[in-house]
Amino acid sequence: MSMENNYLRSFGGTNLLMDSDLKITDYKKSSDVHFITYKEKQIILIGTAHISKQSAELVAEVIKSEKPDVVSVELDKQRFEALSNQKRWENLDLKTIIKERQLSTLIINILLSSYQKKLGKKLGVNPGVELLEATKVAKENNIKIELCDRDVRVTLKRAWRSMSFWQKTKFMTMGLASVFEKEEISEEQLEELKDKDVLTELMNDLGKTMPVLKEVLIDERDSYLAKKIKQADGKKIVAVVGAGHLEGILKKIHEDENIDLNKIEVIPKSSSISKIIGWGIPIIIIGSIFYIGLEKGFHEAGNNIVFWILANGIPSAIGALIAYGHPFAILSVFFAAPLTSLTPLIGAGYVAAFVQSYYKPPVVREIQTVSEDVNKVSKWWQNRLLRILLVFILSGLGSVLGTYVGAYRIISNLF
Tens digit of pLDDT at every position of the chain (415 positions) = 333 333 222 223 333 333 434 444 577 778 789 999 988 899 999 988 766 677 788 899 999 999 999 999 998 887 787 677 655 555 566 777 777 777 777 776 776 666 666 655 655 555 677 888 889 999 999 999 999 999 887 887 888 777 777 777 777 676 666 655 555 555 455 455 555 555 556 666 666 667 777 788 888 888 999 999 999 988 999 999 988 788 889 888 877 667 788 888 887 776 666 667 667 888 888 899 988 888 888 889 899 999 999 999 999 999 999 999 999 999 999 999 999 988 877 889 999 999 999 898 887 677 777 777 887 888 889 888 899 999 999 999 999 999 999 988 988 888 7
- Give the span between the Cα atoms of 253 and 226, in whole angstroms: 5
Cα end-to-end span (Å), the chain? 87
Domain extents in the chain: 3-264, 272-412
pLDDT of residue 1: 35
pLDDT of residue 14: 30
pLDDT of residue 5: 35
Q: What is the CA radius of gyration of the chain?
A: 25
Angle, vertex CA 64, rays to CA 62 and CA 67, nearest 5: 95
| 139: number of Cβ within 10 Å | 12
pLDDT of residue 15: 33
pLDDT of residue 282: 85
pLDDT of residue 53: 73
| 202: number of Cβ within 10 Å | 19
DSSP β-bridge partners for residue 46 = 33, 240
What are the Cα distances from residue 131, in Å, to 82, 136, 145, 148, 263? Answer: 12, 9, 11, 12, 27
pLDDT of residue 325: 94
- For residue 172, count CB atoms less than 10 angstroms from its CB and return exposed for 0-12, middle for 13-18, buried for 19 or more: middle
pLDDT of residue 394: 93
Nearest to 301 by CA among 387, 221, 183, 413: 413
pLDDT of residue 387: 92
Beta strand pairing status for 144-147 and 70-73?
parallel
Nearest to 306 by CA among 398, 386, 218, 410: 410
pLDDT of residue 343: 83
